[in-house]
Chain A
Amino acid sequence: MEVTRRGFVQFLARGAGAVAAVGVAWKASASKLFHEVLPARSIAPGNQKWVMVIDLAKCDGCRDCTRACTAMHHIPPMQEWIKVFEVADNPAAGAYFLPRPCMQCDNPPCVRGCPVGATYKRSDGIVMQDDDRCIGCRNCIAQCPYSARSFNWGEPPHTPEELARPYSVEYNYPHRKGTVEKCIFCPEHLRAGKLPACASTCKMGAIYFGDELEDAVTNGKGETVQFTKIAKRGAGFRLMEELGTEPRVYYLPPAARKYPGPDEQKQAVSMAGMEHS
């Protein structure tokens, strides 16, 4: 076939026409092909945006939050939904305690990666976990940069209180073998207008919890403060901001700590031991 300029121009024109036609068809059909509304389970019972603020200066590493969480959710052994880390970022600043619940990210990698939608974002900001649906592929564990997810490797040991209630995504028990579990900000408590177990238990008042739209957060001691104010004045930060996960948990830096940090505590213990001997 002869290649002519005219033919080539025609070829280009047809191509442009095809692209335009696809564009028009796309605009017309995209909203019909893809859903526009959220499914019922993605819409929270209340119109809030939950947010947590953890004041690292107030945390003394007692792990009461972990224990309260474990008791409330009947969490199987070897799992900690809120885990207290001992962090030493650099050689000079010394170690500090870092309680880590689920960050309930606004751009959650686990939700992105879940093949079946067993973990999903709710409109109040909570990343929920549906163990009726989870297939146990553990992609969410691989996706989570905060190591905030755990897996029921074997059949979890059950207690009668745990088995007494039917399973609900709002409290995530009875626990099932082969499924993933995580902190879910105690939606059951929130429904009843109570603070999550960790926040209400913390006797140091280090964990503040509240509704971002109310601009108020409350800790276990009943102190209510303005969220934006303590975040701003306290130089609040989020863990691994650079990953773009947009966590809903804010931290206040461990500046002017009120309690001895982990290394000082260990030192005190060893000193006490020396005195005894």
Chain B
Amino acid sequence: MEPKVMEPREENLLRSMTQTSWRFYAWVGFLGTILLVGLVAFIQQLRHGLIVTGMRDQISWGIYITDFVFFIGISHAGTLISAILRVTNTGWRTPITRMAEAVTVFALCIGAPIVIIDMGRPDRMLNIFRYGRIQSPIIWDVLGVSTYLTGCILYFYIPMIPDLALLADRPEMSAWRRRFYRRLSLGWRNTAAQKKLLERAISTMAVFIIPLAVSVHTVVSWIFAMTLRPGWDSSIFGPYFVVGAIYSGAAAVIFSMYVLRRVYHLEDYIKPLHFRNLGLMLLSFSMLYLYFNINEYFTAGYKLQGMERTLLDRLFVGDYAVIFWTAQSVCVFIPLLIMLAVLGVKRYEHFTIPGMVFASGLVIVGAWAKRYIIIVPTLRSPFLPSGQRLPWEWTHYSPTWVEWSITAAAVAGFLMIYTLLSKVFPIVSIWETREGEVTETEPEAVPITVGAPSRWWKGGAVATSVLLGFLLLSSQSAQGATPPAKHPKPAAISVDWKVLPANTPSVTGSPDEQQPAAPRRVYWYAGRLFNPFSTSENMPPEEKTVAPVAIVATLHDPGGAPIGFKPLEFSLDSGFGTLSFGNRPTMADGRAQLTVRDRRYGTYPVKVSFRGDDEYAATSFQVRVNFGERPAPALPNVGVLITPYATSPVTVPFVLFYGAMWVVFAYVFGYLILWRMRKVRD
């Protein structure tokens, strides 16, 4: 393919990749310094542990987790906006999809490792894979974020392939760069058949990335929503976080659009139209986010339940009030007003770009503060505040220089990746802008529409088959504790015992049925409710009614004549002490009966003793009484999702969903791009 004659705006775009000014080096140096400080802080933290942070037992998550949620949130809009615009085939999208996707990929590259910094033992990171439990929200996040990162990298890379081939032919690129681009372009020859394959790959990815993105921020919110904490124990956390994520991400896209337009002079690509259209989207999401905020706090504030009241007091008027109202204003109120003015009022229309950029900046900063407000005050208000008799700094949280440095380094790292990779890859899609921009001449005409038909499902069958392997551990049956056997002394008491029929009818069978309960299958502990295919044989047996035990003691003299009307004391040796049942008098026939109706299992030595009086000497007799078999060792069947192994109710949905995503990735990238695209003939 001979180098096509390029338009001036494309020449300008290429110049952004080949020419660097002193400002670029100064900027990189500045970011590098911040990164270096962050590195020093991290080394400090590795050496001394998390004690160098402001976190303590009560507030055990701080701004690291805030950063994590923030960056995962920022990552949301890029791909989502790009995917929605592609699926709906919106014409004006073409110059901005690449930079939106870039925001996503780079934010994820920063957001995902931050949890490792937050870990107390980063050296044991691989335990996540060795011992991972699918029941834990942390593992859902590992699964979700890694799938999402892979998907976003593919979704960033696949639409770039034609551009890479184009760059490989450009004379202004150095030889090694041309080789690099040639390699990455995977044999792209710009034929019609290849183009068709690429279109299919992109549209398939676009369709699947939308539910994936929604799921990822939902599982991030579930880290919090799956706890019993006031303020987190909320059913709207999933959509609340997803909307917040798209909101902050859209702001990041607008902000990066502005910066790149300014720095690389991309005015020919990125027009006021883009700011206006994305601005309308940001405006609608700010209203949606406001709605979620009202919903979240109004429902809690109306009821003022227990610790929720303490939490709301702290947020609204207490020690977090300043940051709470600042965060809400900066994140929602002020941007909302600015956007309403520049987008809705005709006379402020010429402020659209600066207004939108300012609003986006506020949203980004506010989104971070909002995450902080969600995380820290809740941890400050537990049901049992462990702060009693602890110093102030163990119950209050203020981030230390280490945490601030690492946070600054995370932001700097994001900007650094963006800066450097914008020199490697064209930040605007060249081939798409050549063909795509149909509505360029008539701005204002295309609002965001949803519902245009997509063609992904024509593309071929998507098979979903997933396997999960587990480690098999052998189990050992435990042995019941046997109390030491004692020989009964020849004495004047003889004891007999028998199990009486239970008064209340037993649920599972006859009362004298004393078989040990069958060991319960581990995978059913996850709760019967969840399991559509469970049958009664798999259900844990109902608790049996314990049959009463009658212990009859006879007091007699050595000759065998019964001794009546004397007190006999009954007691039982339990594991730690002697449980006394008190005295029972012997009747005229010398018999005293004790009926034990306790909820007791196992065999115990029961001692019947006579204190002795003037007539008869003291004596005692011991007998081993079986109160019924102990149940086999098992986990409590009320425990939901506490099993040591994976259980079906959580495993199947997560593995199916994310497994399906990996199958799609394999189909799109492995089959369509790597395999078919090389083979295809015109």
Instruction: List B residues 40-98 near A (Cβ within 8 Å).
Output: 48-53, 55-58, 60-61
Whether the Cβ atoms of A224 and B578 lie closer than 8 Å is yes
Q: Which of A136-144, A164-172, A250-258, A265-273 contacts B (4 or more CB under 8 A)?
A: A136-144
Whether the Cβ atoms of A213 and B602 lie closer than 8 Å is yes
Bound form: Cα–Cα A211–B118 in Å: 40
Whether the Cβ atoms of A31 and B521 lie closer than 8 Å is yes
Give the residues in chain B near A125, CB-CB below 8 Å.
636
Whether the Cβ atoms of B600 and A40 lie closer than 8 Å is no
Known: A30-B523, A34-B646, A226-B598. A117 touches B635 (CB 8 A): no
Q: How far is the CB of B528 from chain A (nearest CB, A)?
A: 13
Give the residues in chain B near A229, CB-CB below 8 Å.
598
Whether the Cβ atoms of B641 and A117 lie closer than 8 Å is no
- Is B470 interfacial (CB-CB < 8 Å)? yes
- Is A27 interfacial (CB-CB < 8 Å)? yes
Residue of A nearest to B469 (CB): A33
Q: How far is the CB of B40 from chain A (nearest CB, A)?
A: 18
Whether the Cβ atoms of A30 and B533 lie closer than 8 Å is yes
- Is A108 interfacial (CB-CB < 8 Å)? yes
Number of A residues contacting the other chain (C-beta, 8 Å)? 90
Give the residues in chain B near A124, CB-CB below 8 Å.
633
Q: How far is the CB of B490 from chain A (nearest CB, A)?
A: 28
Whether the Cβ atoms of A195 and B121 lie closer than 8 Å is no
Whether the Cβ atoms of A106 and B636 lie closer than 8 Å is yes
Whether the Cβ atoms of B578 and A33 lie closer than 8 Å is no
Give the residues in chain A near B533, CB-CB below 8 Å.
23, 26-27, 30
Whether the Cβ atoms of A147 and B481 lie closer than 8 Å is no
Whether the Cβ atoms of B50 and A178 lie closer than 8 Å is yes
- Is B136 interfacial (CB-CB < 8 Å)? yes
Q: How far is the CB of A75 from chain B (nearest CB, A)?
A: 12
Give the residues in chain A near B60, CB-CB below 8 Å.
138, 141-142, 151
- Is B630 interfacial (CB-CB < 8 Å)? yes
- Is B302 interfacial (CB-CB < 8 Å)? no
Whether the Cβ atoms of A178 and B121 lie closer than 8 Å is yes
Q: What 1/0 mask marks residues of chain B from 122 to 139 whose CB sits below 8 Å from any chain A CB?
A: 001101101111011111
Give the residues in chain B near A48, CB-CB below 8 Å.
481, 575
Whether the Cβ atoms of A30 and B648 lie closer than 8 Å is yes
Whether the Cβ atoms of B133 and A116 lie closer than 8 Å is yes
Q: Which of B211-219, B285-293, B345-353, B376-384 contacts A (4 or more CB under 8 A)?
A: B376-384
Whether the Cβ atoms of A150 and B638 lie closer than 8 Å is no
Give the residues in chain B near A35, CB-CB below 8 Å.
470, 472-473, 522-523, 644-646
Bound form: Cα–Cα A180–B60 in Å: 11
Bound form: Cα–Cα A218–B647 in Å: 38
Whether the Cβ atoms of A224 and B576 lie closer than 8 Å is yes
| Residue of B48, B128, B142, B579 touching A225 (CB-CB under 8 A) | B579
Instruction: List B residues 622-679 near A (Cβ within 8 Å).
Output: 630-636, 638-642, 644-648, 651
- Is A58 interfacial (CB-CB < 8 Å)? no
Bound form: Cα–Cα A117–B50 in Å: 22
| Residue of B133, B229, B639, B646 touching A121 (CB-CB under 8 A) | B639
Give the residues in chain A near B633, CB-CB below 8 Å.
38, 43-44, 47, 123-124
- Is A120 interfacial (CB-CB < 8 Å)? yes
Q: What 1/0 mask marks residues of chain B from 13 to 56 whose CB sits below 8 Å from any chain A CB?
A: 00000000000000000000000000000000000111111011
Give the residues in chain B near A123, CB-CB below 8 Å.
478, 633-635
Bound form: Cα–Cα A208–B533 in Å: 43
Give the residues in chain A near B647, CB-CB below 8 Å.
34
Give the residues in chain A near B379, CB-CB below 8 Å.
142
Whether the Cβ atoms of A155 and B598 lie closer than 8 Å is no
Please classify the interface of chain B as helix (H, G, I), strand (E, B), loop, or mixed, using the class held by over half of its residues: loop
- Is A113 interfacial (CB-CB < 8 Å)? yes
Whether the Cβ atoms of B49 and A178 lie closer than 8 Å is yes
Whether the Cβ atoms of A216 and B574 lie closer than 8 Å is yes
Give the residues in chain B near A26, CB-CB below 8 Å.
533
Residue of A nearest to B470 (CB): A35
Whether the Cβ atoms of B640 and A117 lie closer than 8 Å is no
Bound form: Cα–Cα A47–B602 in Å: 10
Bound form: Cα–Cα A230–B91 in Å: 75
- Is B386 interfacial (CB-CB < 8 Å)? yes
Whether the Cβ atoms of A135 and B639 lie closer than 8 Å is no
Bound form: Cα–Cα A125–B579 in Å: 22
- Is A193 interfacial (CB-CB < 8 Å)? yes
| Residue of B50, B136, B138, B575 touching A211 (CB-CB under 8 A) | B575
- Is B448 interfacial (CB-CB < 8 Å)? no
Instruction: List B residues 497-523 near A (Cβ within 8 Å).
Output: 519, 521-523
Residue of B nearest to A245 (CB): B228
Q: What 1/0 mask marks residues of chain B from 571 to 588 whose CB sits below 8 Å from any chain A CB?
A: 010111111100000000
Q: How far is the CB of B644 from chain A (nearest CB, A)?
A: 5
- Is B441 interfacial (CB-CB < 8 Å)? no
- Is B536 interfacial (CB-CB < 8 Å)? no
Bound form: Cα–Cα A226–B142 in Å: 48
Give the residues in chain A near B472, CB-CB below 8 Å.
35
Give the residues in chain B near A145, CB-CB below 8 Å.
228-229, 382-384
Whether the Cβ atoms of B575 and A193 lie closer than 8 Å is yes
Bound form: Cα–Cα A147–B382 in Å: 7
Bound form: Cα–Cα A148–B632 in Å: 29
Bound form: Cα–Cα A204–B394 in Å: 31
Give the residues in chain B near A146, CB-CB below 8 Å.
383-384
Bound form: Cα–Cα A113–B126 in Å: 17
Known: A46-B480, A210-B576. A154 touches B49 (CB 8 A): yes
Instruction: List B residues 345-381 near A (Cβ within 8 Å).
Output: 379
Q: How far is the CB of B113 from chain A (nearest CB, A)?
A: 14
Whether the Cβ atoms of A224 and B580 lie closer than 8 Å is yes
Give the residues in chain A near B385, CB-CB below 8 Å.
147
- Is A275 interfacial (CB-CB < 8 Å)? no
Of the A-B pairs whose beta carbons lie under 8 Å apart in the complex, a sample of 12, sorted by A's number, is A33-B468, A35-B646, A42-B635, A47-B481, A100-B384, A123-B635, A125-B636, A142-B223, A142-B227, A153-B50, A178-B50, A210-B576
Q: Which 10 interchain pairs have the tightest Cβ spacing?
A: A136-B120, A178-B120, A154-B51, A224-B577, A216-B574, A123-B633, A34-B523, A218-B576, A218-B577, A115-B138
Known contacts A194-B576, A216-B575; can you find 8 more A-B pairs with CB under 8 A? A34-B523, A34-B651, A115-B138, A116-B132, A120-B644, A135-B120, A177-B120, A222-B577
